Amino acid sequence: MLDEIIAEDEYLYRGVVDACWDEKEGRPSSAAFKDSKGISVDRDGGRDKENCVKRLLSVKDFHAVCRLTARDARSCDTFVKYLPVDGNEYHSEIHDSENQVEIKSKAKSRRLNNKAEVVFCKDDI
Amino acid sequence: MAPFLTIGLGVLSGVTASGNRFSSSAYSVMPQKQTSTGAAVVDFLVVNKLGDNFHKLHSFLNLKNGWNGYDGKSFSKLTINRTLSILKKLNVQPKMFPTGRGTIQLEYHIDDDNLVEMEVSSTEISVLWVIDGNESEEEISDIRVASKKLNDFIS
């Protein structure tokens, strides 16, 4: 069982599909960080980068995988919540705040995207 | 090639000026005009003006719930049509991306301090402006106003 509290230096991983990948910039569009619910991510939970990427790619043929620390997500004035689901004990979500799930602020989504580091990209294979 | 093609019986197919083949069966939302006889015709001028964005926009209709590997919502024809209306009025085609909430994002990115991200839904148009590094957000209700603001920005 993972700790309910996600540590500041823990990484949060998110897969990015082709449609949200900005080829010109070689990065995701901020559209990849917009959802009607929270932004689903996988916390690292003590796993290394390779294992985190591998699990995401086993679920979906993502174009890329990016990551940011919980500290970086919180610095964008968001709330990081551990929400395990069946089949994924690492599932977590980035919410707008403790009381609001959806991130409606486009500026927040842009900041999250800017903080994200691309750790896997099909283009590099 | 004539700029317009009359829709006849069955499936319409053709080649755009940029050489892209298409079939109307793949596009349930096509830019159309009426001829003097009242026949519906595909507006090839619009198809050519939008370029890759035309095909990309219609591909969004094929994205089903969960398309982004998470809870991504599918896209309504109304959202596609509203986005098409904006794209048709733009002097320079923007970058375009689907979002997980079933909206479509149009982007002009001059540099990190000067950019615009416009999110189009079936009911709203919301915009993030970054001008000389200063962020502001705005809701726009009118498609013509949204198009004009984008044209003003990119000019």
pLDDT tens, residue by residue, A77-120: 999 999 999 999 999 999 999 999 999 999 999 999 999 999 99
Write the residue in A31, A35, A37 that is nearest to B97 by C-beta: A31
> For chain A, how many structural domains are there in total?
1
Kindly state whether residues B97 and B136 are assigned to the same domain. Answer: yes
Better pLDDT: B5 or A38: A38
Residue A41 CB neighbour total at 10 angstroms: 28
Kindly state whether residues B42 and B65 are assigned to the same domain. Answer: no
Is residue A47 in some structural domain? yes
> For chain B, how many structural domains are there in total?
2
Contact between A34 and B135 using a beta-carbon 8 Å cutoff: no
Question: What domain range is A104 assigned to?
Answer: 11-124
Kindly state whether residues B64 and B100 are assigned to the same domain. Answer: yes
pLDDT score of A1: 79
Residue B10 has pLDDT above 60, yes or no: no
Kindly state whether residues B135 and B84 are assigned to the same domain. Answer: yes
Contact between B128 and A37 using a beta-carbon 8 Å cutoff: no
C-alpha B42/C-alpha B30 separation (Å) is: 7
Which stretches of chain B sit within 8 Å of chain A by CB?
59-60, 63, 67-73, 95, 97-103, 105, 107, 109, 117, 119, 126-128, 130, 135, 137
C-alpha A114/C-alpha B135 separation (Å) is: 14
Residue B115 has pLDDT above 80, yes or no: yes
Write the residue in A20, A37, A59 that is nearest to B97 by C-beta: A20
Contact B65, B112 (CB under 8 A): no
For A1-5, B27-31, B118-122, B126-130, which range has the lowest pLDDT when averaged over its residues? B27-31
Question: What domain range is B89 assigned to?
Answer: 51-155
Better pLDDT: B13 or B137: B137
